[in-house]
Amino acid sequence: MRVLVYSDDASTREEIRLAIGRRPAPDLPPVEIVESATPPAVFKHLESGEIDVAVLDGEAVPAGGMGIARQAKDEIYNCPPICLVVARRDDRWLATWSRAEAVVVRPIDPVVLAETVADLMRKRAAAKLPATR
């Protein structure tokens, strides 16, 4: 599965990548991390249909992850699940506006982020399964 990590800050992308690891849960396949530092690159990856989960930095500049998530949910057909990383616990309510499926608060707890991404990966995999009667 492919996980997109967006932040304008390389150290934040690295922190997120390391927290997710190669396999966030034993029941899931290994992940390939795709990093992006700019909003146009994020949309290019999301529109490709090759991303299974996106983790977006809510504090990124010039465009924060919340705005990107909202736009992606409005504009991209079958948009993958999105996890926002926010700076303050109080920002969780604002993240609901973005329609992101999950929110993780800084400082990043690697166990929490890995579990959150794993849950989103499972949901994405289930959504891709063909319907059975």
Q: 39 preceded by cis ω (within 30°)?
A: no
Q: How many CB atoms lie within 10 A of CB 59?
A: 19
SS3 label, residue 15:
helix
- C-alpha angle 118/8/112, rounded to 5°? 25
Distances (CA, A) of 118 to 29, 31, 42, 50, 55: 10, 10, 20, 17, 12
- 0.85 exceeded by pTM: yes
Q: Mean pLDDT of residues grouped by 10 in the chain (133 residues)?
A: 97 97 95 97 96 97 95 96 92 84 95 97 83 47
What is the model's pLDDT at position 130? 57
What is the model's pLDDT at position 129? 65
Q: How far apart are CA 36 and CA 4, in angstroms?
A: 7
Q: Which residues contact residue 120 at a Cβ distance below 8 angstroms, ignoring those fewer than 6 apart?
A: 53, 81, 83, 101, 102
| Closest to 59 (Cα-Cα) out of 15, 123, 122, 110 | 15
Superfamily of structural domain 2-128: Response regulator (3.40.50.2300)
Spell out the domain ranges in the chain. 2-128
